[in-house]
Amino acid sequence: MSADELEEFATGLARMARDLLAQDSVQKTLDRVVVHAVELVDGCEAAGVMTVENQQVRTLATTSDLVRASDRIQGEVGEGPCFDAARTLEEVYRVADMTETVKRWPQYAPQARELGIGSMMGFLLYTEDDNLGALDLYSSTPNAFTQRSEHVGWLLASHSAVAFSSARTHAQLHTAMETRHNIGEAIGIVMERYKLDEDQAFAVLKKSSQDRNTKLREVVRVVTETGEIPGAKPRP
């Protein structure tokens, strides 16, 4: 890589980092991650972020219907590079030529070729505290990804994991604060309506949740919207 190319890449990476951290939701962050992957990684024509939980594949973001189809097929047949990487926590993988992987993935590989996938590369998205899924890159051409592609992809994935984790933490904090506010509002309604103290009112909400096998936040939602406790006898 020449000095000019190195400077251009460093500038692009810095812009990407700022762009990811500027997004105001987890989904917008992921949507930008896959766009930047196509822009920055040599050979990459499409990109996606996916997770595998309890053998279920979930596509979180993508630049192409091809990626979504690939994820779906891997989930259906229970095999494939993205599936294996996310399940076994393989940090980096590179499939040079999809036509040479039939023995490894006898069900996935032929369908991948029908989709037009020639080569693939992927990276785990993780931080010290979180395993966030995998960033998967696609090309219609065999041997499209080089050592440089892998290095750039790894740097991109590292920045993306930090931005993804930060966005998710922010969203969780926002949800927690909103939930705490709603619980406080529901407690106030129950205290006033049933002439109870704070501890008694919270105990009523918990009992309603347990008796109905319903999450506490759902009970709280009903109370704040209707003023009534689910399952409680109406006041005379």
Instruction: Kindly state the tokens that stand for 43.
Output: 């050979």
Asked if residue 231 is part of any domain, the answer here is: no
Asked if residue 115 is part of any domain, the answer here is: yes
10 plus 84 within the same structural domain: yes
Identify the pLDDT of residue 169.
Answer: 57
Q: How far apart are CA 122 and CA 1, in angstroms?
A: 22
List of residues 6+ apart from 84 with CB closer than 8 A: 90, 93
* pTM score of the predicted model: 0.67
User: How many structural domains is the chain composed of?
Assistant: 2
101 plus 210 within the same structural domain: no
Domain boundary (166, 183, 208) is at 166
Determine the structural domain holding residue 26 and report its residue range.
Answer: 3-166
- Residue 56 — φ and ψ, nearest 5°? -105, 125
Asked if residue 109 is part of any domain, the answer here is: yes
Identify the pLDDT of residue 20.
Answer: 77
178 plus 143 within the same structural domain: no
Identify the pLDDT of residue 236.
Answer: 47
Identify the pLDDT of residue 227.
Answer: 79
Domain boundary (124, 148, 166) is at 166
- pLDDT one digit per residue (tens) for the chain, 236 residues: 566 666 666 677 777 777 777 777 888 888 888 999 999 899 999 999 988 777 788 898 999 999 999 999 998 998 998 777 766 777 888 999 999 998 999 999 999 999 999 999 988 875 444 556 789 999 999 999 999 899 888 888 887 777 776 656 555 555 556 667 677 777 888 888 888 888 888 888 888 888 878 887 788 788 888 877 876 655 54
211 plus 105 within the same structural domain: no
List of residues 6+ apart from 54 with CB closer than 8 A: none
Identify the pLDDT of residue 38.
Answer: 94
28 plus 145 within the same structural domain: yes
18 plus 113 within the same structural domain: yes
Asked if residue 236 is part of any domain, the answer here is: no
Contact 196, 204 (CB under 8 A): yes
